[in-house]
Structures are given as C-alpha cells and as structure tokens.
Structure 1
Amino acid sequence: MSEQNLNSLALGTLRQVHHIAFNVKDMKASKHFYGKILGLHELTGEEIPKTLLQLVAEGKVANFVTPDGTVIDLFWEPDLLPPNPDPKQAFTRANHLAFDIDPELFEQAVEVLKCNEVKIDHGPVTRPTGRGIYFYDPDGFLLEIRCDPIET
C-alpha cells in the first residue's frame, strides 16, 4: 500500500454529490418553486431520512430529489436577511446550482420559467458546451438549467 497524501483526498474518493442545502425564508414559496415549477419530487412519508423526520414534521425542512438522486434540502430560516438588492452581487459562499436537461426539452424549460414569471438573470446562452439559462429561486439564489449541444 502506498503512502497516502494527507494534503488531499485521492482522486475518486468523493463519489457524487450527496445533498445540497439551501436556507429559505418562505418555505411555501420555495416548496412551490422546487416542486411545482422545477418538477422535482418532494420526499414524503418513508422517503424522508429518519434524521430529518422531526424537522420535516415541524415544517422546518423539506427535501426534494433530482432524477439522478441528488437531494436538495430546504431549511426554513424565517429571519433570513434578503439578498443584496443588486442581482449581480453574487453570494459569497456559492455561485450557482446547475440542473442538466435533455437538449430537446431546453426550450420548454425556458418557457416554464417565463410563464411562472421567474426572475431571469441572463440567457438563454449558447456555448460550445451547450445552452443555459440563469435564474433566481425565491430567495435570490442563482440557478441554471443547462443542456449539452444537440448532436447532429
């Protein structure tokens, strides 16, 4: 066995994103946004992790899951300060969360955002890596829906 480098984890040690946690001021608005507008599945009943059952029952946490299994935890923080009124002022601890989508469904996603009057930061943009649109959740956190280029 070779000596482990104690300055970093070995490549491949971290397997995948386990969960992403957001503080939210308005749980109802955030649950509507992630569940109804973005179409993510909300964990209920036996799907809720046992460690979060009490917090979910008290309305302090909600859990959503993406089709690839990434869990998004929403933590209710009723005293959460509003984001900087300048939408170009990025959060200091995060940049954005990107959701992948089938290229054939990208335009539909853009229309869903527009129909729900979701605040768009910029886009849609087209790059060699694909297309993307950047928008804000109810608490001002920057999100992206992106897709790979359409194969021709």
Structure 2
Amino acid sequence: MQSKNLSSKRAIAPGSLRRVHHIAFNVKDLQASRHFYGEILGLHELQGEEVPSTLRELVASGKVSNFITPDGTVIDLFYEPDLSPPDRDPTRPFTRANHLAFDIDPSLFDEAVEVLRSRDVPIDHGPVTRPTGRGIYVYDPDGFIVEIRCNAV
C-alpha cells in the first residue's frame, strides 16, 4: 500500500491555532457537575455578564453552566439528562465530550475554512456568525466535533 503524501496538501499554517478556547462536555446531572467543577476543583463559575452572550439564555434556563480554568480555558457543561454511557461500568472508556474548540486569529478564519473544505473535512455546521465571533464545526476522523472559532472583530 502506497502512503499518501499529506504534507503536499494545504494545511492551516502551523501556529495559527492560538490556544484551546473551550471544551464542552455533555453531563447527565448538571448540579453534580457544577459541584464537582466549582466546589471540588475550585474553578470559577461564570455568572451574569461573564457568561458568553450566546449562552446566557441556556444558562438562565438551567441547560448550561460555564467554568473557567486559571489559564483562561472555558469548560461548558451542557445538561443532557437522558444521556447514558454505552456501558454502566465506569472503568470502560466512553466519551461525554461535546466538542473541542480552538481559537484562531479573525484574519485567518476564512483561510482556515477554505483549507478544511479543500481537504474534504466533513462539516457538521457552519461557518456561523454570532455576536461573540465566528465558528465552524467539523468532524475529526473518529466523528468527534472540533470547532475552529475566532472572536468578533
């Protein structure tokens, strides 16, 4: 079998993704998860104006909670009460992660979208424009959602 030369195709330029912007987890028990991240791990729960404007309605309705790590990474907890792991045995691996989001400079966002399209990366949805910025949601090879997003300019 001949290996493909992946480096000859366009790629998002190394160093363009600046940091992990946020990690979103689906949680079955939002109150228990809020207790774990806030009371046990000691992370700050975003409140009021700290909550991203696109999530305020979900936070107010009890469907999302947001925490911030000391390095500025936001952890979003999405309440999914009917979600069950594939196996009740907690030692068997499964994921409740919703998506991983990378931040990119706004001037590089459109180019990143074109790279993803040119490489036939499956797109879940987007690009979307929100008051807080722009994003595109794609699938990695295992079907995990990865968001490339930028702040509003």
Question: Higher strand fraction: Structure 1 or Structure 2?
Answer: 2
Consecutive unaligned residues in structure 1, runs of 5 or more: 95-152
Q: Secondary structure at the match of 2:25?
A: strand
Q: Deviations over 1:23-60 (max 9, x none)?
A: 00111100000000000000001100000010000000
The corresponding residue for 2:49 is 46
Asked if the contact 2:27–2:96 (Cα under 8 Å) also holds between the matched residues in 1, the reply is: no
The corresponding residue for 1:60 is 63
Query: Which of residues 28, 31, 41 is equivalent to 2:31?
Result: 28
Find the aligned partners of 1:49 and 1:80 in 2 and give their Cα distance: 25
Find the aligned partners of 1:65 and 1:14 in 2 and give their Cα distance: 19
1:85–1:93 distance in 2 versus 1, CA, 3 Å = closer
Find the aligned partners of 2:79 and 2:11 in 1 and give their Cα distance: 34
Find the aligned partners of 1:92 and 1:60 in 2 and give their Cα distance: 19
Map 1:111-126 → 2, pairs under 5 A: none
Tell which has more relative contact order, 1 or 2 (C-alpha 8 A, sep 6+). 2
Q: Secondary structure at the match of 1:21?
A: strand
Shift of 1:81: 1.1
Q: Deviations over 1:38-95 (max 9, x none)?
A: 000000011000000100000000000001000000000011113523333222686x
Map 1:1-152 → 2, pairs under 5 A: 6-91=9-94
The corresponding residue for 1:123 is none
Q: TM-score, normalised by structure 1?
A: 0.55
Asked if the contact 2:43–2:68 (Cα under 8 Å) also holds between the matched residues in 1, the reply is: yes
1:76–1:92 distance in 2 versus 1, CA, 3 Å = closer
Q: Secondary structure at the match of 1:80?
A: coil
Consecutive unaligned residues in structure 2, runs of 5 or more: 1-7, 98-153
Q: TM-score, normalised by structure 2?
A: 0.54
1:89–1:8 distance in 2 versus 1, CA, 3 Å = farther
Asked if the contact 2:25–2:96 (Cα under 8 Å) also holds between the matched residues in 1, the reply is: no
Find the aligned partners of 1:92 and 1:36 in 2 and give their Cα distance: 23
